Structure 1
Amino acid sequence: MHSSKRMGHYPSLSSVKCFMVLVCISVFSSASLASEPRLTLDYYKSTCPTVFEIVRTEMECQVLSDPRNAALIVRLHFHDCFVQGCDGSVLLDDTINLEGEKKASPNVNSLKGYRIIDRIKNKLESECPGIVSCADILTIAARDAVILVGGPYWDVPVGRKDSKTASYGLALENLPAATEGLLSIISKFLYQGLSVTDMVALSGAHTIGMARCVNFRARIYGDFEATSGKNPLSNSYLSKLKSICPETGSGDNNVTAMDNVTPNLFDNSFYHTLLRGNGLLNSDQQMYSSLLGIETRKLVQKYAEDPVAFFNQFADSMVKMGNIVNSDSFVSGEVRKSCRFVNT
């Protein structure tokens, strides 16, 4: 299994400083590993051996009915893990005693798929009552969603607990925004223990995602022409986007695919879109076009040229993200009866 924390690449230092840094890292890593909750592949082997089969069967039905459901679940998982770790907090409804994350601006009009998780939870409660956490359900479902639209397989370590809390504030602070600058987004990934490589690979999930007009309006009426060049195909695509998303007035909730070539297939087409300068979101296109994106530009080129490299890194990065745990939940968390509410 993968650790939820990996050491990044450090710039060269003097020998004395380098020694001190390495000693600190060694001490920190040893302490972290000693106290860090462990997830395992066989956590439900004896208590709910059919868990993976049940999740897979339900996801097959959902993706068959609408391929876009795959992207909904992947996005839901991402938004969960970036706030308090992968603890199912994003699934909690507001109550008198709890302010959830669903109404935070990065989530309120962007996240769907809650009912899909509810359906899976209901089936698992019938089969294995009180055993499988909502956090694990969401993590497994995200993996299956990717596979069902052509993406890679990876083993999912399980054993998460559901949190009894949520954080509206952290949802505002931690989640990257579509209009955000490259360095700011990188810092948000680094804060989660995810590298620049993880960021570029995980952004590849946009190959099956949809975006709202309010999140790409500034891009298409801003520097889209500058990054895409004046060629007939790009001009035609831009005209189509402007018809979907008027510069003023209504239309904020109109949507279009972030990969306009193969929107329902998980492939590396998204990176080819960035090479053409046709990225729909400013945050995506900056990975290739920003003067500050020296490392990200090389990764975009690599994944555009080598789909196997993209698939392998995406799988590794999804495990790494899924292993961002809420340590408090391991101590005081629970297995919710309903993913929407804390147990009473």
Structure 2
Amino acid sequence: MQYTKSGPDPTIKDRIYNFNNTGGPDLTMSQWLLSKLKDKYRIYNFNKTGGPDPSMSPWLLAELKDKCPTISLIFDNTYPLDVKTPSLVDNSYFQEIKKGNGVLQIDQQIALGELTKNIVDDIVNDPDFYTKFGDAMVKLGRVEVLIDGQREVRKSCRVVNKKPFIFGGFN
């Protein structure tokens, strides 16, 4: 069965499919989705409506409008993805996305999506969060582990390093 991406922006279904191809479990996938891209369009022109994303809480919308005005000469307009405890590893990120305080659109897709809503609820209500988070990180450490000469430290994250030319040899 071939899977086709649903549009120019990956949906939660696209992301789950892509992650499952790495062999990761669903719980780890939800935590893996914490690394995402900027999403300024959610504040001012969600889905080309000229308004904000309706799934965002009014509190978060005001916070983000203050931090990311439409026109700004300030280039450090970063905002933590975990609005409650940005310096800690805990389940507050999941608590906040349930309240509509997901900074990125994918945050709200995780909280509201039929494929991930129950996972978010389980994480929020699980007293064993730290143990399971640790287990998830161990599992992530095993995903496509590269050994010996298979790995490299990239000079630019966007491209693979060029191999050096060796005169008279093949590389």
Same-fold call, TM > 0.5? Answer: yes
For 2:59, the aligned partner's letter is S
Q: Which has the higher contact order (CA 8 A, sep 6+)?
A: 1
Distance 1:248 1:273 in 2: 28
* Greater per-residue helix proportion: 1
**Partner Cα separation in structure 2 for residue 188 and residue 226 of structure 1:** 27
Instruction: Give distance in 1, aligned partners of 2:75 and 2:23.
Output: 33
Instruction: Provide the secondary structure at the position in 2 that maps to 1:226.
Output: coil
Tell me what 2:166 maps to: none
**Secondary structure at the counterpart of residue 69 of structure 2:** coil
Asked if structure 1 preserves the Cα contact closer than 8 Å seen for 2:60 and 2:103, the reply is no
Supply the AA of the counterpart residue of 2:92: S
Note the 1:174-213 alignment, pairs <5 A: 180-203=10-33, 206=34
Distance 1:306 1:197 in 2: 12
- Structure-to-structure mapping, 1:1-344, within 5 angstroms: 180-203=10-33, 206=34, 215-221=38-44, 222=46, 225-228=53-56, 234-247=57-70, 254-289=77-112, 293-308=113-128, 310-326=129-145, 329-330=147-148, 332-333=149-150
**Whole-Å Cα distance in 2 between the matches of residues 225 and 339 of structure 1?**
36
Distance change >3 Å, CA 201–CA 339, structure 1 → 2 = closer
Q: What is the letter of the counterpart of residue 194 of structure 1?
A: G
What amino acid sits opposite 1:200 in the alignment?
S
Q: CA deviation at 1:216?
A: 2.0
Partner of 2:5: none
Secondary structure of the corresponding residue to residue 79 of structure 2: strand
The sequence identity of aligned pairs, in percent, is 28
Task: State the shift of 1:311 in Å.
Answer: 2.3
Check conservation: 2:22, 2:144, Cα contact below 8 A: no
**Residue type of the partner of 2:13?**
L
Give 1:241 shift: 0.4
**5+ residue gaps, structure 2:** 1-8, 156-160, 164-171
Q: Cα 1:284–1:307, aligned 2, differ >3 Å: closer, same or farther?
A: farther
Quote the offset at 1:239 in angstroms: 1.4
Question: Deviations along 1:138-195, whole A, 9 cap, x unmatched?
Answer: xxxxxxxxxxxxxxxxxxxxxxxxxxxxxxxxxxxxxxxxx63101111221121113
Paired residues in the alignment total: 146
Distance in 2, Cα, partners of 1:280 & 1:294: 20
The structure having more radius of gyration, on CA atoms, is 1
Given residue 298 of structure 1, which amino acid in structure 2 is its aligned partner? Answer: N
Residue 253 of structure 1, CA deviation: 5.3
> Per the alignment, do residues 186 and 253 of structure 1 end up closer, same or farther by CA in structure 2, a change over 3 Å counting?
farther
Structure 1's unaligned 5+ residue stretches are 1-178, 229-233
Segments ≥4 residues shifted beyond 3 Å: 247-253, 338-342
Give the whole-Å Cα distance in 2 for the aligned partners of 1:265 and 1:313: 16
Q: 1: CA distance between counterparts of 2:63 and 2:82? A: 14
Report the AA paired with residue 244 of structure 1. Answer: K
Against the structure 1 CA distance between its residues 191 and 261, is the aligned structure 2 distance closer, same or farther, given a 3 Å change threshold? Answer: same
Match of 2:168 in 1: none
- 8 Å Cα contact 2:94-2:124 kept in structure 1: yes
Question: Residues 257, 184 of structure 1: CA spacing in aligned structure 2 closer, same or farther, 3 A cutoff?
Answer: same
Report the CA distance between 1:199 and its aligned residue.
Answer: 0.8
Amino acid at match of 2:55: T
